[in-house]
Amino acid sequence: MSSLAQSQLRETFELNIGPQHPATHGVLRIKVVMDGEYIVRAEPILGYIHRMHEKMGENRTWNQFWPNMGRLDYLSAIAYNHCYACLVERAMGIEVPERAEYIRVITAELNRIQSHLLGFGAYIMDLGGFTPLMYAMDEREQILDLLESVTGSRLTYCYFRFGGVYNDIDDDFITGTRAFIKRFRPQIPMYHKLVTGNVILMDRLNGVGPISADLCRKYGATGPVLRGSGVNFDVRRNEPYGVYPELDFDIPVYHECDSMARYMVRMDEMVQSCRIIENALNKLPEGPVMAEKVPKALKPPKGDFHFAVEAARGTFSMRTVSDGTNTSYRMRLRSPTYSNVSLFEEASRGMLLSDALAFLGSLDPVIPEMDR
């Protein structure tokens, strides 16, 4: 049959995946044009929980904007706290005490482990294995308990302040964290045994959803997606902030560019985060956790400021345009999943439906952060 006749016979249909669908991790909608089980075009449609955080940033004073930072990526909110704190500190020129910097790193890395754990569990659940989610949840609860004891909340943290952190960590937290890491370390080989080594899983992930490093660059993909494509880029290392330069850790990079590589990057990052936390706990200095003189009414100088951190899903950066008043003139939030998912349309062309959803899961989207 000639290709022309084939194309005339070809009949496509539209399938709406979402906004309420188990595979989309929230209210993402993907309009898929399918030819049988093959995807002709998959267009993500956002905005189902758009809250206009950027406008809120213009209406609220710098301190009033704090709670918003816990509500973007509800899974790794501390990294977002970190970015906002550092952004305003950069604008105002506030010096942060060293102990506070260490506490920031410890909590941020705990939060990263927690986020990757849930990402791991939810991803395997997308692929049909339910048990790993429960295992991951078990570990995650411990982290949430630890973080709750010091920050006061379990999910939407509002823990950092300009010039430090709100609450000093106590001995219970430190011993608890050490105990957790001791308990958690042997779990990861167990996960690899249970999940990663599974023939079915390898069959589903190896070679699925290939994205080249150049595609990542064109779309501004960052985080595990970029590192799974063989690019050694991590804001913690390439654009260090806080006390990251003083801690030793490796950046896991995989060159396979497929879903398995992205999955493995996340798994390895959890190990590295453990290393960072242990290292930071060993080096934790005594001292205050808040800077001495932080003005009540913050008025950063005119101009625009930019700060980037490595959140669990990639580079989260903020750009604020200040006009010298007590509110921001323009607050721009650059969320990592927004860029990561934007390459879905191009990369998913011609994939099978089940592969495409495995691919989407490997991007690990968090919808409130994309929609902002």
Partner 1 sequence: MNELIRLLAYMLGIAAFLGLNLAYLGWVERKGAGHFQRRTGPKEVGPYGLLQPLADGLKLMSKQLVVPTNADRPLYMCAPILIMVPSVLLFVAIPFGEHLVPREFNFGLIMMFAFASMAGLSILIGGWGSGNKYSLIAGTRAVSQNVAYEIPMLITAINIVLITGSLDLNEIVRQQGSYIWNWNVFRLDKSILMPVSFLVFFICSLAETNRTPFDLGECEGELVAGYHTEYGGMGFGLFMMAEYANLVIGCSLTTVLFLGGWQCPFGLFPGPHWFLLKMYFLIWCFVWIRWTYPRTTFWGLLNLSWKYLIPFSLVNLLLTALFIKVF
Partner 2 sequence: MPAEQPQEAAAPVEVQAEGEGEGKPKPKAKKEEDAPPRKNGLIETEYAKRGAHLDVQINPDQVVSAAEFLDGEGMTLEMVTGVDWIKENQFEVIYDYSYTGGQLLRVVVRARVDRNKPDIATVCHIFGGANWHERETWELLGINFVGHPQLEHFLLPEDADFFPLRKDFKP
Catalog residues that contact partner 1 under the rule CB under 8 A: 13, 15, 21-23, 37, 124-131, 134-135, 138, 194-195, 198, 200-201, 203-204, 352-355, 357
Which partner, partner 1, partner 2, none, binds residue 246 by CB below 5 to 8 Å per kind?
Answer: none
Report the residue number, 239 or 256, with the smaller CB distance to partner 2. Answer: 239
Q: How far apart are CA 140 and CA 183, in angstroms?
A: 12
Alpha helices in 2-76 (DSSP H): 3-9, 53-59, 66-69
Which partner, partner 2, partner 1, none, binds residue 238 by CB below 5 to 8 Å per kind?
Answer: partner 2
Which partner, partner 1, partner 2, none, binds residue 339 by CB below 5 to 8 Å per kind?
Answer: partner 2
Q: What angle do CA 76, 82, 86 make, to 5 degrees?
A: 160
Which partner, partner 1, partner 2, none, binds residue 144 by CB below 5 to 8 Å per kind?
Answer: none
Q: Is 83 helix (H, G, I), strand (E, B) or coil?
A: helix
Q: How far apart are CA 121 and CA 179, in angstroms?
A: 22
Report the residue number, 135 or 233, with the smaller CB distance to partner 1. Answer: 135
CB of 312 to partner 2, least distance (A): 18
Which partner, partner 2, partner 1, none, binds residue 312 by CB below 5 to 8 Å per kind?
Answer: none
Report the residue number, 97 or 223, with the smaller CB distance to partner 2. Answer: 223
Q: Are 350 and 80 in contact (CB under 8 A)?
A: no
Report the residue number, 54 or 98, with the smaller CB distance to partner 2. Answer: 54
CB of 134 to partner 1, least distance (A): 4
Q: How far apart are CA 18 and CA 27, in angstroms?
A: 7
Q: Are 234 and 315 in contact (CB under 8 A)?
A: no
Closest residue by Cα to residue 282 from 105, 94, 32, 154 = 105
Tokens representing 18 are 């979402």
CB of 248 to partner 2, least distance (A): 19
CB of 128 to partner 1, least distance (A): 3
CB of 7 to partner 2, least distance (A): 23
CB of 124 to partner 2, least distance (A): 28
Report the residue number, 66 or 359, with the smaller CB distance to partner 1. Answer: 359
Report the residue number, 299 or 319, with the smaller CB distance to partner 2. Answer: 319
Q: Which residues bind partner 2 (CB under 8 A)?
A: 45-47, 50, 52, 54-55, 58, 87, 90, 93, 215, 217-222, 226, 231, 233, 238-239, 301-308, 315, 317, 319, 321, 329-330, 332, 334, 338-339, 342-343, 346, 371-372
Residue 5 CB burial class (10 angstroms; 0-12, 13-18, ≥19): exposed
**Helix (H) or strand (E) run with residue 31 in it:** strand 29-35
CA distances from 157 to 36, 72, 99 (A): 45, 11, 19
Which partner, partner 2, partner 1, none, binds residue 344 by CB below 5 to 8 Å per kind?
Answer: none
Which partner, partner 2, partner 1, none, binds residue 329 by CB below 5 to 8 Å per kind?
Answer: partner 2
**How long, in residues, is the chain?**
372
Q: How far apart are CA 187 and CA 189, in angstroms?
A: 6
Report the residue number, 121 or 314, with the smaller CB distance to partner 2. Answer: 314
CB of 233 to partner 2, least distance (A): 4
Closest residue by Cα to residue 363 from 293, 316, 313 = 313
Report the residue number, 37 or 170, with the smaller CB distance to partner 1. Answer: 37
Q: What is the dihedral of CA 129, 133, 138, 139, to 10 degrees?
A: 110
